[in-house]
Each structure stands twice: as C-alpha cells, then as structure tokens.
C-alpha cells in the first residue's frame, strides 16, 4: 500500500482511536462492590473515596429533602449515592450522582433509576470537577433532568441549574435555596457546618 505524505499520521491516529475501548454498563456491573466508577458515553471514570466533609454535606442535603418529603407526605423519593442512574436507558452511560430525586416510581428498580431523575445534586471534588461542571451538566440537561445543583465545598458555592426555565443561579453556603422541583422547600445552607 502506497502511503502519501501526511497520510501516515492520519492512519496512526485512526488506528489509535479504533483501539480505544468503549465501556458499557455491563462492565461497571461486573466490578467488585468496593470499586466505584461511572461511564459517560462509553468513557470510563473511576471514582475516588469521598472525604468526610463531602459525606456530611451529602447527608445534610439528603436528610433535609427526605424530611421535607416525609413531612408533606410527598410521592417523590430521594436517594443518596451510591445508586445507579442509567440516564439514557442505553449501555454507554452509567452515573452515580450524590443525590437524586425521582417523582416517577416507574423509573425505579432495585438496580437503580432508568431515565432522568427530576433533581440531581453533585458535590464537587478536585478529581470530578471537569465532569460535574461540563460533561454531566450537558448529559443531565439533554436527558431531561429538571434541576441540577453543583455544590463546591472548597469555593463554598452552589450552582443551581433550572433547566425547565433555562435559568442558572449561584449561591453560597450562607444562603437559603428553594428547590424548584419540590416547591416550598428551602434549604438553609447556613445550618451546614462547612469547614
């Protein structure tokens, strides 16, 4: 085969791309229970163990939402990580958001949520920052998530994306934030003892 000038680099590049592995939800499901990972459009991302502050914030957020739903006798269910979200009902995206709220019980099975939760919260860590702010933001919006919160402990900021109304607001850890999906719930982040 005759290779013309410049074609050699193109061939090498295409061969490398062809050899890149595409991961599926089946791969994730076969991992040992103590290994956490996500797949986004076939790309694999291992997840580090969360910090104690991350877990306290997750517990605060989950507990506040859970108590509100219980008090109001609501039909929605809130789940903390780790719980599988098969976001696009395909084999190439598997996520474990920190907190999800699901108001359609038909989306839930014992394995997790199939389709878009109504609400998703991700607590940023240095290793997940680019995924939370870029990849996941786009995935959640295109899949039909109504509301997405990104909580950044280091910057003490909370970005609230109201996808239904095409609105983004930024708050800090001294603010009260109203959830759009659970009308009437205001979460007072000044009650969270951030370091």
pTM value surpassing 0.85: yes
Per-residue pLDDT band for 130 (boundaries 50, 70, 90) equals: confident
> What DSSP state is assigned to residue 28?
H
pLDDT in tens, 90-109: 889 999 999 999 999 999 99
Percent with pLDDT over 70 in the chain: 89
* Bridge partner residues of 171 (DSSP): 158
Residue 10: its pLDDT value, please?
Answer: 43
Integer Cα distance of 60 and 45 in angstroms: 26
> 137, 156, 77: which is closest to 112 by C-alpha?
77
The reported pLDDT for the residue numbered 33 is: 87
Name the residue with higher pLDDT: 88 or 66.
Answer: 66
- Which has the higher per-residue pLDDT, 122 or 91? 122
What average pLDDT does this structure show over 51-72?
A: 96
Mean pLDDT of the region 148-163: 96
With contact defined as beta carbons under 8 Å apart, do 48 and 76 qualify? no
Instruction: For 6-60, write each residue's pLDDT tens digit.
Output: 445 544 444 444 447 899 999 999 999 889 999 999 999 999 899 999 999 999 9
**Strand 167-172, strand 157-162: pairing:** antiparallel
pLDDT higher than threshold 90 for residue 171: yes
């Amino acid at each position: 085969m005759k290779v013309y000038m410049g074609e050699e680099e193109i061939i090498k590049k295409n061969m490398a791309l062809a050899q890149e592995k595409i991961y599926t939800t089946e791969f994730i499901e076969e991992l040992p229970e103590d290994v956490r990972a996500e797949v986004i459009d076939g790309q694999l991302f291992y997840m580090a163990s969360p910090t104690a502050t991350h877990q306290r914030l997750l517990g605060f957020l989950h507990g506040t939402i859970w108590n509100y739903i219980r008090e109001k006798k609501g039909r929605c269910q809130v789940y903390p990580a780790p719980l599988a979200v098969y976001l696009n009902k395909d084999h190439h995206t598997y996520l474990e958001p920190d907190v999800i709220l699901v108001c359609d019980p038909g989306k839930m099975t014992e394995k997790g949520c199939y389709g878009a939760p109504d609400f998703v919260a991700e607590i940023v860590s240095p290793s997940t920052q680019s995924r939370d702010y870029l990849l996941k933001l786009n995935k959640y919006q295109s899949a039909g998530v109504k509301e997405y919160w990104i909580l950044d402990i280091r910057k003490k900021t909370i970005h609230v994306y109201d996808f239904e109304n095409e609105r983004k607001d930024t708050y800090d850890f001294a603010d009260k934030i109203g959830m759009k999906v659970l009308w009437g719930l205001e979460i007072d982040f000044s009650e969270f003892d951030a370091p």
